[in-house]
Chain A
Amino acid sequence: MAVTLAMTLLRRLEGPQTLGRGPAFWTAFALVVAAAIAYPWFADGYTVGNTAYFFCWVFMALGLCLIWGYGGALSFGQTAFFGLSGYAYGVLTLNVGAAYGFTLAALVLAVALSAVMAALLGYFLFFGRIGGVFLGIITLSVTLALERFMAQTAGPEWKIGAARLNGYNGMSGMPPLTVPWFDGDVVLFPDVALYYGLLALLIVVYLALRILVNARFGNVLVAIRENPERAEMLGYDVRRYQLAAFVIGSALAGLSGTLYTAWGQYITPSSMGLTAAALPVIWVAVGGRGDLTATLIGTLLVLGGFQALTIYGSQYALVVMGLLLVVVVLAAPDGLVVAGLRGLGRLRRRETGR
């Protein structure tokens, strides 16, 4: 019975809602994973740690891809949950410490907190029949209000237990993820061990999302995106599906926030500011919001590009990002990566004469 369940799940790795199928795709996938595993042997510790940093953000992008690309709801709340979970992790671990693997429990709790808050906010939004631009505005307002609130927590009276919130300066000094091990805990500083941990988590989440969107849930979700009235008239409770997608996507944003905080051992209100809130939208829009793989590739590309710009041309990075967003929306609304993959597909067909 478990075997049939596993077979059903595996079959869902491919489907109408994801690009990439067949032996060609999965071979390429395996090659990429192999390259990623081998990567630390060829790169220095700093670069590996930096790549791990990029991985932290991808979860938030995948979450937005689910909510916006598949569900059709543009939520600006990703950075709110990013910050919420980040601060939650900080508060928990600064109070309790890293012993007995508590940091892992704190990770789970922080993500769960985001999921719960997303369920509450989502209930208000979707069961209140709020959608479209209003959803975007309200989620943006929530994010900004959270940022403003955290920014004014500078005084010593603003603390939870032993953890001071510290206003604009943010919270720091929390322990990184620490895995309990027999002869000494493994502390996951931004280095090879953390890299492998995040890589594994990323692969698991990516595959799990592929299964989710190709399953019946995903079918209904895209139906809601295409024509919510018709979806309801086929007997689906549209609100529940939208809420579920919102909770999952927001929890992923919380995961990003927690990992980021554990990676750098700090979290500040600016990670919830207006500029920060724009970044996931840029990654997902540039990559291709309608597809998980496109979002994944696009996010890593834009993150790398943004960092390169910041190092070499510091001030212009944000200008380029802003203009990139405008250009993509006008010229390639399905995303650059998607357009690129489609172009490749057309080239292949022409070459094989089909």
Chain B
Amino acid sequence: MIPLLETRALSKHFGGLHVTNDVNFALAPGEIHCLIGPNGAGKSTFFRLLLGEYTPERGQILYAGEDITALKPFARIRRGMSVKFQVPGIFPSLSVAHNLEIALQHHLEGASLGAEIRRLLAFLNLTAAASDRAGNLSHGQKQWLEIGMAISLKPRLLLLDEPTAGMSPDETFATGEMVQALNRDGVAVLAIEHDMAFVRQIAQRVTVLHVGRIFAQGTTDAIIADERVAAIYLGEADAPPLRSVADA
């Protein structure tokens, strides 16, 4: 089975700093995969490489078998990727409903557009806020709105950069359930996360990044049990050569 997303020897450096260092990564269709690692490990840079906001110095990115390394972000989005950033990326002075309309108008119009907007508003618990200025929403609501815009594109692969940052435990759990609901519809998810409860809730596989390299990779339980992973969070371990924990 061809991986939905694959990177081969992907590398990027800023000045002398190798932020992404020879990363070989693969994500299967329909998989929920979490990317963890201490701050500065290069997770957000990796995302931006996947999206096309950064250009790698070496390596390739493949999507459903197609080499997309040279494509601009909007072209990658059109192939079925979608992203939700860490800092809520919404259109602040437009209304909530209008935000969704801009996301949906790609493939819908007229009556079906209106119906889909209403459906999404209900799904995101934002029906009451539909005509409010999006910039006035609470932080958690903004996150949800952006997730809503990201999923309205009906992507095959959803990239989430710290989706639960700033959320309460209840909101975090609800986000996890939403991600699993999406996954049942066949959407693959790659999420950067720090919240281990969330990772435990949703992840099928986990990759650990450390100073730009893949430090460990495996099932959620195996990674969480791995003492070396804990050590790099505490700053005790230096970057070791690539090793992968045996799948359970």
A interface with B by C-beta (< 8 Å): 16, 216, 219-220, 222-223, 226-227, 229-238
Tell me whether B82 and A233 are in contact (CB under 8 A): yes
Decide: A233 near B102, CB < 8 A? Known: A16-B94, A16-B95, A238-B74: no
Is there contact, CB below 8 Å, between A227 and B91? yes
Contact with A along B59-90 (1 / 0, CB 8 A): 00000000000001110011000110100011
User: In the complex, are the beta carbons of B98 and A16 less than 8 A apart?
Assistant: yes
Most B C-beta atoms less than 10 A away, residue of A227, A230, A231, A236: A230
Pick the residue among B53, B91, B101 that contacts A230 (CB under 8 A). B91
In the complex, which residues of chain B have a beta carbon less than 8 angstroms from the beta carbon of A234? Answer: 77, 102-103, 106, 149, 153
Q: A216-B105, A235-B153 are in contact. Are A223 and B77 (CB under 8 A)?
A: no
Are B77 and A219 touching (Cβ within 8 A)?
A: no
Give the complex CA separation of A217 and B105 in angstroms.
10
CA distance A237 to B93 in the complex (A): 21
Chain A residues contacting B146 (CB-CB under 8 Å) are: 230
Q: Is the CB of A223 within 8 A of B91?
A: yes
Q: Which 9 pairs show the lowest CB-CB distances between chains A and B?
A: A226-B91, A235-B77, A230-B89, A223-B102, A235-B78, A237-B74, A232-B73, A232-B74, A219-B102
A216-B105, A222-B94, A223-B102 in contact; A235/B89 too (CB < 8 A)?
A: no
The closest CB in chain A to the CB of B146 belongs to A230
Q: Is B208 an interface residue (CB 8 A)?
A: no
Quick one: given A16-B94, A16-B95, A233-B82, are A219 and B89 in contact (CB under 8 Å)?
no
Question: Which residues in A have their C-beta under 8 angstroms from that of B150?
Answer: 233
Q: Are A233 and B83 in contact (CB under 8 A)?
A: yes
B92 within 8 A of A: yes
B51 an interface residue at 8 Å Cβ cutoff?
yes
Chain B residues closer than 8 Å to A226, beta-carbon distance? 90-94
State A16–B94 Cα separation when bound (angstroms).
9
Complex alpha-carbon distance, A16 and B51, angstroms:
30
| CA A232 to CA B78, docked complex, whole Å | 10
Partner of B73, one of A216, A222, A233: A233
Taken together as a complex, chains A and B put the C-alpha atoms of A16 and B97 apart, in Å, by: 11
Nearest-CB distance from A224 to chain B (Å)?
A: 9
Residue of B nearest to A233 (CB): B83
- Given A219-B105, A238-B74; A233-B98 close (CB under 8 Å): no
Best-buried of B82, B105, B109, B149 by chain A (most CB within 10 Å)? B105
Q: Which of B100-156 contact A (CB under 8 A)?
A: 101-103, 105-106, 109, 146, 149-150, 153
- Which residues in B have their C-beta under 8 angstroms from that of A232? 72-74, 77
Residue from the set A222, A223, A229, A235 with the largest chain B CB neighbour count within 10 Å: A235
**For residue B153, which residues in chain A have a CB less than 8 angstroms away from its CB?**
234-235
Closest Cβ–Cβ distance, residue B109 to chain A (whole Å): 8
- Which residues of the partner chain B approach A220 to less than 8 Å between Cβ atoms? 102
Complex A-B: 16 CB contacts under 8 Å: A216-B109, A219-B98, A219-B105, A222-B94, A226-B91, A229-B53, A229-B85, A230-B149, A232-B74, A232-B77, A233-B73, A233-B74, A233-B89, A233-B150, A234-B153, A237-B74
- Which residue of chain A is the closest to B93 with respect to CB atoms? A226
Q: 8 other contacts beyond A223-B102, A234-B106, with CB at 8 A cut-off?
A: A16-B95, A216-B109, A223-B91, A227-B92, A229-B53, A233-B74, A233-B89, A235-B106
**Which of B77, B91, B93, B149 has most A Cβ within 10 Å?**
B91
B residues in contact with A231, CB < 8 Å? 102
In the complex, what residues of B have CB within 8 A of residue A229's CB? 53, 85, 89
B90:A227 contact, CB within 8 angstroms: yes
Nearest CB in chain B to that of A223: its residue: B102
- A227 is contacted by which of B51, B89, B105 (Cβ under 8 Å)? B89
CB distance from A236 to the nearest CB of B (A): 6
Q: Out of A219, A236, A238, which one reaches B101, CB within 8 Å?
A: A219
